[in-house]
Chain A
Amino acid sequence: AQSVTQLDSQVPVFEEAPVELRCNYSSSVSVYLFWYVQYPNQGLQLLLKYLSGSTLVESINGFEAEFNKSQTSFHLRKPSVHISDTAEYFCALHAGGTSYGKLTFGQGTILTVHP
């Protein structure tokens, strides 16, 4: 069985400060990892994904995440946040070799950026 744990339910931060949202996973097989962002009362938007290759993946709006197999982590980072980054962020896992595309989600981290 697979699981995803987001270590912080809420992260408050001031504008232009750096932020890290932590995600750890458990799986006995190879994994694909995703970060999704959700704004209030909206669906999820894909932020970035790790499928294979370089362990550092980046999004178009300045977020990055690093796949660390030895620590089973996929933390999301941004060096300088904006008010518009306020949202809930979900880490998700897709276990390789499964017969269907089930995503296992973490509980979510609410990022609040203060002026």
Chain B
Amino acid sequence: DGGITQSPKYLFRKEGQNVTLSCEQNLNHDAMYWYRQDPGQGLRLIYYSQIVNDFQKGDIAEGYSVSREKKESFPLTVTSAQKNPTAFYLCASSISPEETQYFGPGTRLLVL
């Protein structure tokens, strides 16, 4: 089955620690996205990538980093510079930036 997978489902971060969230898709989509979801605020775009080896900052990129070395993979690193990382993180992909986005199941990040 084609789809988007995110791992882990739950992730715990200690103070000063960097953590990496995985996003993989086998849909052959060129574009991939990372969103952050907080209660009552909808989703906000962190980073996006239109093609391999290229990515751009979204609305709330501070404290986050990404890479896009393979078409199928778009990992997100939450760095120690992100002071309020507790949230639900959603990865999405689309055939191209103009097409419909499809979402993964999400990763919930909690701070210890």
- Is A62 at the interface (CB under 8 A from chain B)? no
**From DSSP, what is the main secondary structure of chain B's interface residues?**
strand
Give the bracket for the number of chain B residues in contact with chain A.
20 to 34
B48 touches A100 (CB 8 A): yes
Q: Which residues of chain A (77-115) have a CB below 8 Å from chain B? A: 90, 92, 94, 98-103, 105-108
Residue of B nearest to A6 (CB): B42
The digit string for B73-112, where 1 denotes a CB below 8 A from any CB of A, is 0000000000000000010101011111111111010000
Which residues of B are at the interface with A, using a C-beta cutoff of 8 A? 4, 6, 31, 33, 40-45, 48, 50, 56, 58, 90, 92, 94, 96-106, 108
A-B contact pairs, 10 of them (CB 8 A): A42-B105, A44-B90, A90-B42, A94-B98, A100-B31, A101-B101, A102-B48, A103-B45, A103-B101, A105-B43
